[in-house]
Amino acid sequence: MADNKSRIPVKLPSLAFIVCLLISIACWVLVSFSKDYKMSYEYKLVCDNLPEGRKSVTASDTVLTLTFNQNGFGYLMKPFSEKEKVVTISINDLIKPKNKVTVYTFTNKELYEYLVSHNFGPELVAVSAPEVITFYLR
């Protein structure tokens, strides 16, 4: 036989505490999703659209590290949340301003300018790695 006198009374939190807790959680979410963040992601490099007479292309590096400027819900948005991150580069468009040769070298600044205009928008901040990438055409 259980005796009611032996039970320990449970105090529930007051309504004011619960309201303050909910307001503080809402404020925390608002502040953390309004900050600007710089996030770096690794993308696999895929080359297509070769110039006429060329059969294949080999790159000195097949992984690009790209840095993006994001705020808040941008973490959850499309190109940043994909599991398989791939950057497709049109070799024909990339080498247009250069002379017709079989070896093309680009700095990360040149690659950044190309990626901003063709693949990504202004949220791309920099190409962190590699410093220089070379494409060999056959």
The count of other CB atoms within 10 Å of the CB of residue 116 is 15
Q: What was the pLDDT predicted at 77? A: 60
**SS percent in the chain: helix, strand, coil, step 5:** 35, 35, 35
Place of tokens 């259980």: 2
pLDDT at 2: 54
pTM over 0.85: no
pLDDT digits (tens), the chain, 138 positions: 555 567 777 677 788 889 999 999 999 888 877 777 788 888 999 988 888 888 888 888 889 999 888 776 665 565 555 677 888 888 888 887 676 788 888 898 999 999 998 888 888 889 988 899 998 888
Which residue ranges make up each domain of the chain? 36-137
pLDDT at 13: 77
Determine the pLDDT at residue 105.
87
Cα–Cα distances (Å) from 123 to 13, 40, 120, 132, in that order, read 45, 12, 7, 22
Please name the residue that has the structure tokens 């494409």: 135
Please state which architecture CATH assigns to domain 36-137: Beta Complex (2.170)
How far is residue 43's CA from residue 92's CA, in Å, rounded to a whole number? 20
- What pLDDT, on a 0 to 100 scale, did the predictor assign at position 81? 58
Query: What is the C-alpha separation between 11 and 9, in angstroms, rounded?
Result: 6
Q: In this predicted structure, what is the pLDDT of residue 5?
A: 63
